[in-house]
Structures are given as C-alpha cells and as structure tokens.
Amino acid sequence: MDGANLTRGDALRVESISKAFGGLKVFHDVNFTMPAGGLLGVIGPNGAGKTTMINIISGRLPPSSGRVMLGDTRVDSQPVYSNAGRGLVRSFQQTATFNDNSIEDNLLSAIRFSGKDRSVLERLAVLLEKFGLVENWRRDANLLPYGLQKMLGLTMALATEPRMLLLDEPAAGLEKSERGNIDDYIAFAQTEFNCGVLLVEHDMDLIKRLCPQVIVLDGGKLIAEGAPGEVLARKDVIDAYLGGSDEEDDHAQHS
C-alpha cells in the first residue's frame, strides 16, 4: 500500500525485532503496539537499546530480525526520507537544525522536504510564538540559545505534519525551567495534528506527567509495560536503573 493512501487510524506495530552489532546483541524479540494518536513512553537504563530501537523504527538502521509496521506498510529498512513521506518522523537528542540558516529558512526547508506548503506555518503559529521563535525569526539557528535551538528542531519535525513522532530524549540539555515546553509541544502535536508520539526520555517526572503507558527496556528485553506509577514501582525496573552503561547507545548514535 502506498503511504499516501494510509489513514491516521493506522497503528505502529513493532513485531519481534532483534538487533545485533556483530557479536553484540542489543535487544531480542521486542514486541509492542502503539495506537494511532497515542502517547507511549519508552524508558530504561543507559545501554538498554532505546536509541537503536528508534533508529530501526525510523529506517535509519535495519533490524537483524523482525519487522515494523505503520498500518499495512512495512517501514523497517526503508529509507528515512521515504518513511518521513509516510508521516513517520524522528527527532534527535542533539539539536538538528541548519546552523547558518534563519529560523524561517529552517522551517521552510523542513516543509519543502516533506512536500508540504507554507500554510503549515499558520498551523504552527501558536507554538512558534510560545517558544519565542517568532521574535527571533530572522536569526541564524547557531546564534540561538541551546533551548531555542532544541525547540526549533522539534518544531521542524512537526512542520512535516507527521502521523507518528519518534522523540529521542527531547528534554535532554534543557534547563529545568524550559522542560515545560516539551509538555506544550507534545500536547500541541496530539491535539492540533492528531499525531502519535513515541517518547524516549530519562526525565521520569516528564514521563509520569505525560505518558498514560510506558514500556521498559533492559538487558536487551522488554521487561515491563503499563501505567508509569505501577511500572516504576516494580522491583525489576528499580533494579534495572541501578546498573547499565552508555556503551550501546554511544555505539548506536555513531553507527
């Protein structure tokens, strides 16, 4: 089925995906389903495979086995630009902007990439004003404070009018006073764009505040899923956060 014919009623299904880099097994036989328009948190210690999983879902990395479906379309191992055209869009932990271009040009580049038109800016007007991007409209991205650069990158992702957003630690690097912007951003994406959000995040306050459901990765396996309060009270989840290393996620980001 062509991506243009997919409807927003389609779910994201991760079906028995496994991934290994040579002899290093990152995760094995991970399964979950995320309904269209839903919000699912993904948590786990460093090295649990969270970034690798987002890379596989978005098409940036192929799985070793298993598959990822968006509605009736298989999206794993497809080019990132093709999946973006289907409405499957990811963010990055770092800022992702064109540094020597203005805020306006950055947003227009994202719009052109996705084949949309400039009218998307009207849909984003409230968000652009709230984040202070309008008052810096002509400034180059590299001259903005880090928090504004981060929100510009996230707004660029939303400018593509996604059906499913994969957010990789959107609060990383933000000051505590700026983290409420992530709440506003996700609420806007869901209410104004009817967009599903898969949220990978280390900020547990943010996860508990926003996510009705979470899944937990540890040691290459999905060890728990459910409401944040009950999941975070489980002994195996508590134990998981006492260990772990940065080795895998560092490897994934440079793969």
Question: How far is residue 71's CA from residue 151's CA, in Å, rounded to a whole number?
Answer: 29
Half-sphere exposure of 254 (CA within 13 A, CB side): 5
Q: Find the distance separating the first CA and the last CA of the chain, reported in whole Å.
A: 30
Of 36-40, 220-224, 241-245, give the lowest mean pLDDT range. Answer: 241-245
pTM, entire model: 0.88
pLDDT grade, residue 96 (50/70/90)?
low
Euclidean distance between CA atoms 144 and 62, whole angstroms: 35
Q: What is the CATH number of domain 12-244?
A: 3.40.50.300
Give the pLDDT score at 254.
40
Q: Is the pLDDT of residue 94 over 90?
A: no
Average pLDDT, the chain: 88
Is the pLDDT confidence value at 113 over 90?
Answer: no
Q: What's the whole-number mean pLDDT along residues 96-107? A: 87
Asked if pLDDT for residue 251 goes beyond 70, the answer is no
One-letter amino acid for residue 84 of the chain: A
- Residue 116, pLDDT > 70, answer yes
Signed CA dihedral, 166, 171, 174, 180: sign only? positive
At residue 226, what are phi and psi to the nearest 5 degrees? 150, -165
In single-letter form, the type of residue at position 23 comes to: G
H or E segment at 25?
strand 24-34
pLDDT band at 22 (very low <50, low <70, confident <90, very high): confident
Return all residues near 191 (Cβ < 8 A) that are at least 6 apart: none
Alpha-carbon span 39 to 31, nearest angstrom:
16
- The encoded tokens of residue 37 equal 């328009």
- Averaged pLDDT, 121-140: 95
